[in-house]
Structure 1
Amino acid sequence: MSTPEITVRGGGVFGLSVAWACLKRGAKVRVIERRAIGAGASGGIVGALAPHTPENWNDKKQFQFDSLIMARDWWPEVETVSGLPSGYMRTGRVQPVMDDKGLDLARARSKGAQIFWKNLAHWSVDQSAGTTWEPPSPTGWLIRDTLSAHIHPRQALSALAAAITTRGGEIILGDGEARGQVVHATGYEGLLEIAKEMDQPVGNGVKGQAVLLNHDAIGQPQLFADALHIVPHLDGTVAIGSTSEREFDDPTSTDGRLDDILRRARLAFPVLAGAPVLARWAGIRPRAKSRAPMIGGHPLDPDAFIANGGFKIGFGMAPKVGEVMADLILEGRDTIPDSFKPEASLT
């Protein structure tokens, strides 16, 4: 039997994850990226790997949970093969409880976590200890979960690309010839191309802005408060994000919306008040119409595949997206939830 050949178009986290999963199963893999690895939304700076709430359970929440659990072994393997850090660490997350109604809901979700998370991770409601690395909580209570993790997006993509080439895969920047089965992982531009060809909305791009501070909180949990993700990276920086903008003129410019995020973060967390700004980032995240990742057979080409629509949860979903796509492409096994298939965004 000949070695299967796979070409992945797109060097973001979905494309590289599919390539890595196929490569590990013995396929000959080529990645073609027109610009640079992580040129799109995957090249951001936040890297919050956070779960959906443990209630009203569905296929999307189960898929994300499975992927977050997989990540504990998946990213260290990438680091071992590549010799590079990914910035992955499962340190959990802390959120404030804003009022008595929220406290009742948080405790109910704690019971849901016992059912749906199956003791692989925990959700608890605890009284504040009053440390500087806690969100202010009007009730004095905090939600802590042990499932949330963080990753350094740019480090992770560099490590994943290096792991692919170390194992014999090929990465081409610019134009390249597709060989064998083709997977399109081309971000929001790919969604817009499909929409134009089919003359119907299937997805779009949502702009996000984030900021990186020089502040050492290594090993601390990520924080979520006032709609802000505050992520302490392992290189001694803290990322804060992000906006969600449906309308924009310049996809890569930062503006007053980011200034507002920084102001709110420093007001809520005085420990960050004097931290210098290292970088400001803006980019466009691909959002499928269904709000779930769009993975499976390509809607325009019956002989091709698609892995797109990671939106805000691409890195958290990536380990399992890679595996189920490898199941489909190499073994013909369709283990993809119906809500993730392209058809869910075509109705």
Structure 2
Amino acid sequence: MATDKITVHGAGVFGLSIAWVLTQRGAKVQVIDPYGIGAGASGGIVGALAPHVPENWNPKKQFQLESLLMAAAFWQQVEEAGGLSAGYARSGRVQPIADVAALALASAREDTAKTLWGEVAHWKVRPIEDQEWCAPSATGLEIHDTLSGRIHPKQACAALAAALLERGVEVVEDGPETPLTVHATGVAGLEALNANHSRLVGAGIKGQAALLGFARPDAPQLFADTLHIIPHADGTTAIGSTTERDYGDPARTDAQLDDIIARARAAVPALADAPVLARWAGLRPRSRSRAPMLGAWPDRPGHFIANGGFKIGFGMAPKVAHVMADLILEGRNMIPQGFEVAASL
């Protein structure tokens, strides 16, 4: 095991999760972020831990499956250590089935889920069970999967920071250089990489989301009209999100969010009168390959990159943290080939 202190740049979910696992394994860690905890995409409000569909299996989908299965133990340890809730639950997800073609596709995926997910989770076609927590469906049927979960992103970052603080690790604005350094700096990190390469390494993709005053904390998340609708443990419900490649102010909400709110109310009548408590906009880091960028930074000995979480960063974080710790502390590279930093540079 490395004995020198390790610096983690970035207090988003990747940086904090990696710092947490490194600390759990006995490493000395400092976390540096001049903007504070969850200042970027990780400070959002949606938190849909939704799996890829069970078909056309690949290493990315397998990695995500394993990470989602690790999530319950990971977040329980974080909450027990720091005393703050991350808002995590493996609450499942329901999706209305609109027509015969969608039913055929959903049924085929039910069969492949049995092979790909095994007994750890299911993907089932069933009659709509909760007429109040659903979207209208001409077939009267829905998909129910038990792999999906939910988390409150901003609260989860705070929970990780609290757990680290209990281990003596603070998030600071600046600190000394160390022989081992992890760069988990999100959009800013991708922009810095772009400046030093002839082709695009990654970019920030804007998203907008809303938080409604509607309490269904024990309900599954809903996926309807391409929207993620997430009942949080604190009695709120999040709706998101847009995917914007062209934008002006990355932190400003606009009519596109108004449209999302209107569509959510139309899709789920139970939300019709729920007040809007908060509006959020921000940039999410997406690598050119759309997979996370993980591993050693080529030509920079002792430096590592963990970036590109985009929409699945919180779902990937538990396993990302462990494979990065394996690499940094033990030299074991368990990172899928398509995730390797060199593949995106």
Indicate the TM-score class for this superposition, using the shorter chain for normalisation: over 0.9
Could you tell me how far 1:111 is from its partner in structure 2? 1.2
1:175 Cα deviation from its structure 2 partner: 2.2
How much has 1:228 moved relative to structure 2? 0.3
**Aligned residue number for residue 343 of structure 2:** 344
Please, which runs of 5 or more residues in structure 2 have no aligned partner? none
| Cα deviation, residue 192, structure 1 | 1.1
SS for the counterpart of 1:198 is coil
Q: 1:21 maps to which residue?
A: 21
Q: Distance in 1 between matches of 2:120 and 2:267?
A: 31
Query: What is the count of residue pairs matched by the alignment?
Result: 345
- State the Cα distance separating 1:180 from its structure 2 match: 3.0
**Cross-structure match for 2:239:** 240
Deviation, 1:2, is 7.0
Q: Give the equivalent residue in structure 2 for 1:82.
A: 82
Per mean C-alpha deviation after superposition, the further-off stretch among 317-326 and 193-202 is: 193-202
Is the 1:208–1:285 contact (alpha carbons within 8 Å) kept by the matching residues of 2?
Answer: yes
1:187 aligns with 2:174: no
**1:130 and 1:8 mapped to 2: Cα distance?**
45
CA deviations over 1:13-59 (Å, ceiling 9, x no partner): 00001101111111001000111100000000000000000111110
Equivalent runs, 1:138-287 vs 2, <5 Å: 138-172=138-172, 174-287=173-286
The unaligned stretches of length 5 or more in structure 1 are none
In 1, the alpha carbon distance for the partners of 2:306 and 2:2 equals 25
TM-score, structure 2 normalization: 0.98
Following the alignment from structure 2 to structure 1, what is the Cα–Cα distance between the partners of residues 327 and 39? 27
Counterpart of 1:198, as a letter, is: H
Deviation sequence 1:79-116 (CA, Å, 0-9, x none): 00001111001110000112212111111111111111
The 2-side partners of 1:135 and 1:25 are apart by 45
% identical equivalent positions: 60
Pairwise CA RMSD: 1.2
Q: Distance in 2 between matches of 1:248 and 1:236?
A: 31
* Counterpart residue type for residue 240 of structure 2: G
Alignment check: 8 A CA contact 1:94 1:221 kept: yes
TM-score (normalizing by structure 1):
0.97
Q: Does 2:331 match 1:332?
A: yes
Q: Would the aligned equivalents of 1:194 and 1:300 in 2 still touch at CA under 8 Å?
A: no
Give per-residue Cα distances to partners, 1:286-333, cap 9 Å, x unaligned: 000010000101246232000000000000000000000000000000
Residue type of the alignment partner of 2:219 = Q
Residue matched to 1:65 = 65
CA–CA distance in 2 between the matches of 1:331 and 1:315? 24
- In the TM superposition, what is the alpha-carbon distance from 1:270 to its structure 2 partner? 1.3
Instruction: Determine the C-alpha separation between the residues in 2 that align with 1:5 and 1:238.
Output: 40
* Aligned counterparts of 2:67 and 2:55: Cα–Cα separation in 1: 18
**Corresponding residue SS for 1:264:** helix
Alpha-carbon spacing, 1:81–1:130, altered in 2? closer, same or farther (3 Å): closer
